Amino acid sequence: MTEYLIAIRDALPYLLQGALVTIALVLGALLLGLILGVFLAVGQVYGNKAVRAVVGLYVWFFRGVPLLVLLFLFYFGLFTLLGINISAFTAAVIILGLISAAYQSQIFRAGILSLPEGQFKAARALGMSDARAVLFVILPQALRLSIPGWSNEYSIVLKDSAVAYALGVAEVMARAHFVASRTYQHLPLYFTAGVIFLILTYLGTKSLRLLEEKVRIPGYSR
């Protein structure tokens, strides 16, 4: 037991540095997923048949192919083929963001469809264009209603970020594996990595719950 505690004590600062990398990775992926996801959701709800088909194909592909396969496919395959020279961290953010966009688009789509159809028609009746009606009337409400689902997506992306160590990203899991392979203290180090992920999950979901309460309209959001 003493050896375990010593191993955790010695490795903890190094693992916490990896936690900062993990946080940056998750926030970057969620932001990219948010931007793309909103466009995908709007296209799937309000787009023509061709746009809906393209969005559906995108969602089907990124939700159907395993994460590790996508990481290798893009980083070692597509990016190399196109001559795109980026760091493993940037590649992981992009790939996780593309995957998250597929899931977030369905969260936002559900939020849009949950709104009364009359709101869009009323905005049009007031002289708004379709784009302005979606941007200023529909999306603010849909995004507010999507926060609980977005909280779940945060937890998923956080857990998926551990796979980024396969590309050499120095996040929590990669650092725990690096130290464990040299000290042979696998149990305490992987346990510590798990605790760090649990703490990050709790802090993130708690923050999103507070955000949900802050923007909630009494009698409307629930």
Convert the pLDDT of each residue in 20-79 to its tens digit.
Answer: 999 999 999 999 999 999 999 999 998 899 999 999 999 999 999 999 999 999 999 888
In a domain, 220, yes or no: no
3-state DSSP: the chain helix, strand, coil percent, rounded to 5? 85, 0, 15
Q: Which of 156, 183, 118 is nearest to 33 (CA)?
A: 156
In a domain, 71, yes or no: yes
The span from the CA of 40 to the CA of 104, in Å, is 9
The pLDDT tens digits of the residues spanning 190-222 come to: 999 999 999 999 999 999 888 878 877 666 554
In a domain, 86, yes or no: yes
| pTM of the model as a whole | 0.90
CA angle centred on 115, ends 39 and 201, rounded to 5°: 65
Domain holding 97: CATH number?
A: 1.10.3720.10
In a domain, 221, yes or no: no
Which residue range is the domain that position 55 belongs to? 2-215
What total of structural domains would you count in the chain? 1
